[in-house]
């Protein structure tokens, strides 16, 4: 694909980082994390393997009352049945939520009748509650347990119910761009929010892992680049990772309608202060 009137790298960086979406995990530290983010920021809240979807909904309600734009993860394998889904949809609607993200979820055994995001999206479509935006997952570097063909088929089934795609975390801008070109060739025209890692200090991540439980942190790493790849990144960056190379590699494609880069989705690992220091530094350049 050729770029249509691509912006300069500086312009693209400004557009990507001006109003990102910040992903937080719904633990006790979330209140402190919210205080470190801009007023009215868009916040995605994950579904925790240890706390379940109840914590996601509760934190969404709490933060929405404080004026944040909330995007809760409604992980299919954590929802018990249609009644449970209807209760979740009702609470989120009453909280003013207009945007949700629907992944399958990492739970090995589903909590109830939903085993995939597609099944939940179909059930949600039959309810009286509607959301303006619905995000689904994209995998620029594939999935550890699913073939590329299976992922393509799943996206084809989910696309009619979605308004955008969020990519799993990826460190390679070339892989992201190549993947977008691939899905465009398959006829998938949804805009893309690119999942990027926030600034990560290795020691802080270890401390967080001890507090939130190894399950959440390791499962998250395993479903993205894997623990080994993550550790290599940290060693190469002397214990501190910043996503400069990733942002600079994506910036030239911002604004090109063929690529549809809508925003960045920052996986903060609940280290918002470090990420915000870096982000403001890039915006001031």
**Parent domain of 204:** 9-283
**The pLDDT of residue 172:** 85
- CA atoms in the 13 A half-sphere facing the CB of 231: 7
Q: Quick check: is 71 in a domain?
A: yes
pLDDT on residue 2: 46
User: Per residue in 228-285, pLDDT tens?
Assistant: 555 565 555 566 778 898 999 999 999 999 999 999 999 898 889 989 999 999 999 8
Nearest-angstrom CA–CA distance, 244 and 252:
14
In a domain, 4, yes or no: no
Tokens 């409604």 belong to 74
In terms of Cβ atoms closer than 10 Å to its own Cβ (0-12, 13-18, 19+), residue 203 is exposed
Give the separation between CA 179 and CA 139, rounded to whole angstroms: 8
Count of domains in the chain?
1
1: in domain: no
Q: Alpha-carbon torsion 225, 228, 234, 236, what sign? A: negative
Given a cut of 70, the residues of the chain with pLDDT beneath it are: 1-8, 144, 202-239
| Helical packing angle, 53-65 and 82-94, nearest 10° | 10
The whole-number pLDDT of residue 270 equals 86
Two tokens at 264? 């960045």
**Number of residues assigned to the chain:** 285
Residue-by-residue DSSP string for 221-284: HHHTT-HHHHHHHHHHTTTEE--HHHHHHHGGGTT-TTT-EEEEEEE-TT-HHHHHHHHHHHHT
pLDDT tens figures, 36-59: 999 999 999 999 988 999 999 999
Alpha-carbon span 9 to 181, nearest angstrom: 20
Is 34 within a domain?
A: yes
Task: Write down the pLDDT at residue 218.
Answer: 46
Coil, strand or helix: which one is 35? helix
Q: What is the pLDDT of residue 258?
A: 94
Residue 166 tokens, joined: 């969020």
Q: Please report the pLDDT score of residue 42 as a whole number.
A: 98
- In degrees, to the nearest 5, what angle opens at C-alpha 120 toward C-alphas 104 and 224? 15
Is there a domain that residue 139 lies in?
yes
Domain containing residue 23: CATH number: 3.20.20.220
pTM given for the model: 0.87
* Angle ∠(54,47,75) on CA atoms, nearest 5: 95
- pLDDT for 209 equals 46
Distance between CA 133 and CA 202 in Å, rounded? 34
Note whether residue 214 is domain-resident: yes
Q: Is 2 part of a structural domain of the chain?
A: no
Q: How far is CA 260 from CA 18, 179, 254, in A?
A: 17, 12, 8
Q: Which candidate, 2, 4, 8, 9, places its Cα nearest to that of 248?
A: 9
Kind plus residue range of the DSSP H or E element containing 166 = strand 164-167
- 154: its two tokens: 């799943």
Q: Residue 195 pairs with which residues in a beta bridge?
A: 265
Write the DSSP assignment of 184-219 as a string of letters.
Answer: HHTT----EEEEEE--EEHHHHHHHHHHH-HHHHHH
């Amino acid at each position: 694909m050729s770029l249509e009137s691509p912006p300069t790298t500086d312009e693209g960086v400004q557009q990507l980082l001006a109003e990102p979406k910040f992903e937080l995990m719904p633990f006790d530290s979330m209140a402190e994390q919210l205080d470190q983010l801009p007023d009215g920021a868009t916040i995605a809240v994950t579904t925790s393997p240890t706390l379940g979807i109840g914590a996601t909904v509760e934190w969404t309600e709490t933060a929405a009352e404080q004026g944040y734009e909330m995007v809760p993860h409604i992980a299919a394998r954590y929802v018990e049945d249609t009644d449970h889904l209807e209760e979740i949809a009702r609470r989120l609607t009453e909280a003013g939520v207009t945007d949700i993200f629907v992944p399958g979820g990492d739970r090995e055994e589903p909590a109830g009748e939903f085993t995939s995001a597609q099944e939940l999206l179909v059930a949600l479509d039959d309810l009286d509650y509607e959301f303006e935006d619905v995000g689904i997952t994209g995998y620029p570097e594939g999935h550890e347990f699913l073939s590329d063909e299976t992922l393509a088929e799943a996206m084809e089934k989910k696309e009619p119910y979605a308004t955008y795609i969020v990519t799993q975390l990826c460190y390679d801008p070339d892989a992201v761009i190549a993947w977008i070109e691939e899905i465009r060739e398959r006829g998938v025209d949804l805009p893309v929010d690119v999942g990027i890692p926030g600034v990560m200090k290795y020691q802080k991540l270890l401390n967080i892992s001890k507090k939130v439980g190894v399950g959440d942190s390791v499962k998250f790493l395993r479903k993205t680049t894997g623990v080994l790849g993550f550790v290599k990144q940290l060693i190469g960056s002397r214990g501190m990772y910043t996503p400069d190379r990733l942002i600079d590699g994506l910036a030239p494609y911002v604004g090109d309608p063929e690529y549809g880069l809508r925003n960045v989705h920052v996986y903060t690992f609940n280290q918002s202060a470090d990420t915000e220091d870096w982000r403001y530094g890039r915006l001031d350049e």
